[in-house]
Amino acid sequence: MTQLRFALAQIDTCVGDLDGNADRIMQYAHLAAHGGARVVVFPEMTLTGYPIEDLALRRTFRQAAWDKANWLATELEADGLGDLYVAVGTVGTDHALDKPRNRMVVLHDGTVSAAYDKHFLPNYGVFDEFRIFAAGERSTVLEVDGVRIGVAICEDIWQDGGPVAALAEQGIDVLMTMNGSPYEEGKTHTRYDLAVRRAAEVHAPVIYVNQVGGQDDLVFDGGSFVVDADGTLLERSPMFVEHLGFFDLDTSAQHQTPGDIEPALDPDEEVYTACVLGLKDYMAKNHFTGVCLGLSGGIDSALVAAMAADACGGANVHGISMPSMYSSDGSKDDAADLAANIGAHYDIQPIEPLFNAFQGQLALEGVAAENLQARIRGVIVMAYSNSKGLLAVATGNKSELACGYSTIYGDAVGGYAPIKDLLKTRVWELSRWRNRAAQAGIGVGGLRIVGNESRGAGKPLPNGVMIPVNSIEKAPSAELRPGQKDSDSLPEYELLDKVLAAYIEHAHGRADLLADGFDAKTVDTVMRLVDRAEWKRRQYPLGPKVTALAFGRDRRLPVTNAFRE
Amino acid sequence: MTQLRFALAQIDTCVGDLDGNADRIMQYAHLAAHGGARVVVFPEMTLTGYPIEDLALRRTFRQAAWDKANWLATELEADGLGDLYVAVGTVGTDHALDKPRNRMVVLHDGTVSAAYDKHFLPNYGVFDEFRIFAAGERSTVLEVDGVRIGVAICEDIWQDGGPVAALAEQGIDVLMTMNGSPYEEGKTHTRYDLAVRRAAEVHAPVIYVNQVGGQDDLVFDGGSFVVDADGTLLERSPMFVEHLGFFDLDTSAQHQTPGDIEPALDPDEEVYTACVLGLKDYMAKNHFTGVCLGLSGGIDSALVAAMAADACGGANVHGISMPSMYSSDGSKDDAADLAANIGAHYDIQPIEPLFNAFQGQLALEGVAAENLQARIRGVIVMAYSNSKGLLAVATGNKSELACGYSTIYGDAVGGYAPIKDLLKTRVWELSRWRNRAAQAGIGVGGLRIVGNESRGAGKPLPNGVMIPVNSIEKAPSAELRPGQKDSDSLPEYELLDKVLAAYIEHAHGRADLLADGFDAKTVDTVMRLVDRAEWKRRQYPLGPKVTALAFGRDRRLPVTNAFRE
């Protein structure tokens, strides 16, 4: 009988931050050894951060990553951890092709060894790996104390054939996978079903270690787990926090013994926490400690402010009320209440005098005059950002961004938009969930996410309410002209969001949408709005490429990139 | 002896505009037949436009393209052109994989036939084809009057092996290629050298037909050509204009007879014209007839205004002078002179009263106060855009964008940025070239580009000067504080641009740059500026993806997309 203890190191890395990531690996390797592990496995591209996009094409970066892996191996041994098998992800180089590889290496006995290169390189959705990496061609089995550990990296288990099929033929005792799998509603089940299928294929348990943390426009949710050969869930780590899990493999047992299984999150809590973690990590990785945003009294800015308070604490949130001649008293009160609830800074900057100054020169009418109000507010928000060093957060939701119902350089300004992938109806649902959580005692900053206190009360909320009920229940309005309602320009959100979900998220065409039961007028309205809003969603000017390497399409670097030569 | 006349139809298409593109094909097929051609070949993905990015993934679009190809075949026959072989590019479907194909079809005798699918799918730089298309696996030879015509699509001739190697073995009389090859300085020679190599490989002449026109951030320059098996240039079409060229193949001749060979353009004229065509087509394809921009009296806005006048006529250019308390009289005069030279509308909108109104509330200092001035100007430019239906054009150059020396939501606002890929020293060179052209009698709109008059005087320029000499010769300044010069914040442009070219366009790392002879202080300054400016160049807020399909990374559609279901 052989028993082998694995540690699942679910950590948060930063793209390009070789020093910081190496320190994190060191810290978790110590914890793993202290917990009695023989093998510790980290997420995909641990050392470099993930996804590194075109940064991988920089030869100097690959050299620096290689040097850092060797430094780590040496340091681990010097710290008395030479016996431990430390599986980390990094970038390698195919010297024949002069192309990078998405690589797993094992640090052991002071050396870097046992490289495995990712075989299936995803090239769809948010992934561009085939663009960047050369594909690995060999499967790899690591032997530790006589136990045969097959290895795979993320997409390798999402496609049939390839290294997993080869490992199934060779025979292994366990399949150990490192992953960088971005969050998506409902994906927990998909990953679990997939792992169950692969466990059956290799007749062995599957270890699934996933990255946690925000990286630019992606959020990695962690939720690492182990399933047995028969599909039984043996271990599950929490989502959205760094975590070290353990799994004891007994090669002589028919069935493995289950360990810690974290209960699943409420679906609203899950999405809310993903948004908070995305913002929190974007701030940390770009060295911001506070945010500023416009508080209109509407539900979008209220939810974003609540998320910001949970991400960085209410005292680091600067809310700016910017009432115009069309702002209702109710809206102003709701904005003030929200700021008080979360303990935010709260300033009032009326825009009417500024609006009048512009209008004295420009005499705008109609939509141009409405946009002017939004852009004056954008200027004020950016003034706070520039003068106080705050991250400007944008408050647009997916419904309005999809339909172009926003002003570019106006309400759309900011460095991060926490709810840009939430339909309006989801904004309401998450606001209600956050208030329920407040009633249950989860105060500002009390969510369970990386770097926050583990789930606790946080800063208590007055009256047990975070988001004013009025902001949730009133009819949505941009308040850019008297009596304006969103429903003047858009279908009601209950209907609109259903069409948007079908058209965008499920890629239904016009005929499909009609077959879905939507009326032709609504379908045509929504499709026209969405198809024409592409430029607004981008905001930045396109321009002709005339040199070998322009910015934009042919030089794709992560925004959050800590690498410095 | 067999003689076969080919027509090279170098046309300008629009992504998604199946109707418009089909009409263009019809028109050129008539011209080709009238000119005695037996075969007419169009650019890559003629019918759909190129590059279509994720639009190809939409099944309804592929169906519509297929229907349109059949309509075209029928119409051609009905018009008496059934005998003509019409080779057009379109999107196909691999039904087994449910993936699109980058396809060439031949319309003949009222039917769509002889499909060839692109084999090498570029997946680097500006190209994402491997992401989208399934690769073709067969080479195709088309037989017309006993002549064996091998076919290939663009990247197929850029890589060794594949269909061209197969055709070389099979033996062909001519290699006919359709291309969507974006413009890049110096690329004319690269393409020619490549075609010569392939002609030698297949022992036959190579026909190279390239797309012309602007498509979002790409410009296609046309410049179609034919080379003989021995590398002799037999035909060359002009750059930047639609054109129908002819080539007579004589299969019994040792050497083919040369036809029309367009002389090469001056390198400055070439780049200037690429920028003008990009802007002109972006306007046309997005239904703008006029532009607005801030005119500071500086060289960047002067050059952009000149380009705009060449693209849409001076009378459709709205220049806005927005002087502040720091604007010099010289700058105001230079702006007015430029506007007069090109015959533009010219308004003066002083920003001091607006600046003071904001400062009464915000009391900003330092860079925040400087950004405020730029953002007030951004608001005014967008007010003109919204109220008059004009395209706002941004005037930033590559040097300042690379270094982040600009204000987001300020001078960077706009839908198109004609000089965003031109380093500052290139801005000066092109300005001088445009003035030389003016002295040579090329007035406003007199450039040779698609849809303009063929090269002629255009609207004559007063004094034979377009861009005020003072704008070219004075020291660059943002004029956001008294006595400010760009050189206070940046290395001198002569040096800066050399470092930028090496770092960005030639991807040199730090060690390379030092070996290039640049001093360490300059290298570190420039690298730090460039590495930190990524977000500014994007402008739009990132946000967490939480659904299956968010906007941005996983839904990539061209801005200019005329497809409507």
Q: Are A544 and B57 inside 8 Å of each other by CB?
A: no
Please give the structure tokens belonging to residue B367.
């860079």
Rounded-to-integer distance, Cα A382 and Cα A364, Å? 23
In the residue annotation, B154 being an active-site residue is answered as: yes
Question: What is the structure's pLDDT at A163?
Answer: 96
Q: Is it the case that residue A558 has pLDDT exceeding 80?
A: no
Buried b (16+ CB within 10 A) or exposed e, A518-548: beeebbbbbbebbbebbbbbbbbbbbbbbbb
- Measured between CA atoms, the residue of chain A closest to residue B182 is A545
Question: What is the structure's pLDDT at B143?
Answer: 96
Looking up tokens 């001035």 gives B373
Please give the structure tokens belonging to residue B372.
């405020």
Question: What is the structure's pLDDT at B325?
Answer: 93
Please compute the mean of the pLDDT values over residues B523-539 and round it to a whole number.
81
Task: Count CA within 13 A, CB hemisphere, residue A283.
Answer: 29
Question: What is the structure's pLDDT at B457?
Answer: 78
DSSP-derived secondary structure letter, B503: I
Question: What is the structure's pLDDT at A507?
Answer: 81
Please compute the mean of the pLDDT values over residues B443-469 and round it to a whole number.
84
Q: Chain A contact for B545, CB < 8 A?
A: yes
Q: Provide the terminal-to-terminal Cα distance of chain B, rounded to the nearest Å.
A: 49
Rounded-to-integer distance, Cα A343 and Cα A348, Å? 16
Per-residue pLDDT tens for A17-54?
Answer: 999 999 999 999 999 999 999 999 999 999 999 999 88
Q: Is it the case that residue A541 has pLDDT exceeding 90?
A: no
Q: Is it the case that residue A560 has pLDDT exceeding 70?
A: no
Q: Is it the case that residue B539 has pLDDT exceeding 90?
A: no
Question: What is the structure's pLDDT at A535?
Answer: 67
In the residue annotation, A118 being an active-site residue is answered as: yes
Q: Is it the case that residue A246 has pLDDT exceeding 70?
A: yes
Question: What is the structure's pLDDT at A550?
Answer: 66
Q: Is it the case that residue B488 has pLDDT exceeding 80?
A: yes
Helix (H) or strand (E) run with residue B486 in it: none
pLDDT above 90 coverage of chain A, percent: 80
> Which among A443, A449, A387, A375 is positioned nearest to A418, based on CA atoms?
A449
For residue A538, which residues of chain B lie inside 8 Å, CB to CB? 540, 559
Q: What are the φ/ψ torsions at residue A77 (nearest 5 degrees)?
A: -65, -45
Residue A448 to chain B, least CA–CA distance (Å) = 18
Give residues with Cβ within 8 angstroms of B86, minimum separation 6: B25, B29, B40, B42, B72, B76, B106, B107, B108
Instruction: Say how many residues make up chain B.
Output: 565
For strand A291-294 and strand A317-321, is the pairing parallel, antiparallel, or unpaired?
parallel
**Given A57, A371, A534, which is nearest B386 (Cβ)?**
A371
Per-residue pLDDT tens for B500-514?
Answer: 999 888 888 899 999
Per-residue pLDDT tens for B71-99?
Answer: 999 999 999 999 999 999 999 999 999 99
**Given A511, A537, A565, which is nearest B509 (Cβ)?**
A565
**pLDDT tier for residue B536 given thresholds of 50, 70 and 90:** low
Residue B370 to chain A, least CA–CA distance (Å) = 10
Cβ(B208)–Cβ(B238) under 8 Å? no
Count of Cβ atoms closer than 10 Å to residue A193 Cβ: 11
Q: Which residue type sits at B485? A: K
Buried b (16+ CB within 10 A) or exposed e, B345-375: bbbebebeebbebbeebbebeeebbbbbbbb
DSSP-derived secondary structure letter, B519: -
Please compute the mean of the pLDDT values over residues B101-115 and round it to a whole number.
95
Please compute the mean of the pLDDT values over residues A299-318 and round it to a whole number.
97
Question: What is the structure's pLDDT at B7?
Answer: 98
Please give the structure tokens belonging to residue A332.
């102003």
Per-residue pLDDT tens for A436-477?
Answer: 999 999 999 999 888 876 677 788 887 778 999 999 999 999
In the residue annotation, B201 being an active-site residue is answered as: no
Q: What are the φ/ψ torsions at residue A440 (nearest 5 degrees)?
A: -80, 0
Q: Is it the case that residue A170 has pLDDT exceeding 90?
A: yes
**pLDDT tier for residue A153 given thresholds of 50, 70 and 90:** very high
Cβ(A284)–Cβ(A40) under 8 Å? no
Please report the domains of chain B, with CATH numbers, ordered by start residue. Answer: 3-263 (3.60.110.10), 269-487 (3.40.50.620)
Please compute the mean of the pLDDT values over residues A148-176 and round it to a whole number.
97
- How many interface pairs between A and B have CB atoms less than 8 angstroms apart? 330
- Helix/strand number for chain A, H first, E second: 17, 18
The widest CA-to-CA distance across chain A, in whole angstroms, is 86
**Distances in whole angstroms, Cα of residue A404 to Cα of each of A88, A217, A489, B163:** 43, 20, 11, 45
> Which among B50, B51, B28, B49 is positioned nearest to B40, based on CA atoms?
B28
Average pLDDT across chain B, whole number:
93
DSSP string, A234-276: EEEPPBSS-EEEEEEEETT-SSPPP--BPPPPPHHHHHHHHHH
Dihedral class, residue B330 (left if φ above 0, else alpha if ψ from -120 to 50, else beta):
alpha
**pLDDT tier for residue A73 given thresholds of 50, 70 and 90:** very high
ipTM of this complex prediction, to 2 decimal places: 0.94
Per-residue pLDDT tens for A345-360?
Answer: 999 999 999 999 999 9
Question: What is the structure's pLDDT at B38?
Answer: 98
Please compute the mean of the pLDDT values over residues B217-237 and round it to a whole number.
96
Q: Which residue type sits at A429? A: E
Question: What is the structure's pLDDT at B339?
Answer: 97
Q: Provide the terminal-to-terminal Cα distance of chain A, rounded to the nearest Å.
A: 49
Task: Count CA within 13 A, CB hemisphere, residue A52.
Answer: 31
Helix (H) or strand (E) run with residue B35 in it: none
Rounded-to-integer distance, Cα B371 and Cα B378, Å? 10
Rounded (5°) CA angle A33-A36-A38: 75
Considering the candidates B68, B129, B154, B285, report the single residue annotated as catalytic.
Answer: B154
**Given A131, A278, A375, which is nearest B382 (Cβ)?**
A375
Q: Is it the case that residue B533 has pLDDT exceeding 70?
A: yes
Average pLDDT across chain A, whole number:
93
Rounded-to-integer distance, Cα B222 and Cα B239, Å? 5
> Which among A471, A475, A435 is positioned nearest to A298, based on CA atoms?
A471
Cβ(B229)–Cβ(B203) under 8 Å? yes
Q: Chain B contact for A298, CB < 8 A?
A: no
The neighbouring-strand residues paired with A92 are: A101
Q: Is it the case that residue B456 has pLDDT exceeding 90?
A: no
Q: Are B565 and A509 inside 8 Å of each other by CB?
A: yes
Helix (H) or strand (E) run with residue A6 in it: strand A3-10
Question: What is the structure's pLDDT at A427?
Answer: 96
Report pTM.
0.95
Coarse DSSP helix, strand, coil percentages of chain A, rounded to the nearest 5 percent? 40, 20, 40
Looking up tokens 């229940």 gives A473
Please compute the mean of the pLDDT values over residues A186-203 and round it to a whole number.
96
Q: Are A553 and B275 inside 8 Å of each other by CB?
A: no
Which 202-231 residues of chain A touch chain B by CB within 8 A?
214, 216-219
Q: What are the φ/ψ torsions at residue B522 (nearest 5 degrees)?
A: -65, -45
Q: Chain A contact for B489, CB < 8 A?
A: no
Q: Are A421 and B547 inside 8 Å of each other by CB?
A: yes
Mean pLDDT lowest for which of A4-8, A325-329, B69-73?
A325-329
Question: What is the structure's pLDDT at A460?
Answer: 83
CA B139 vs. chain centroid, Å, equals: 30
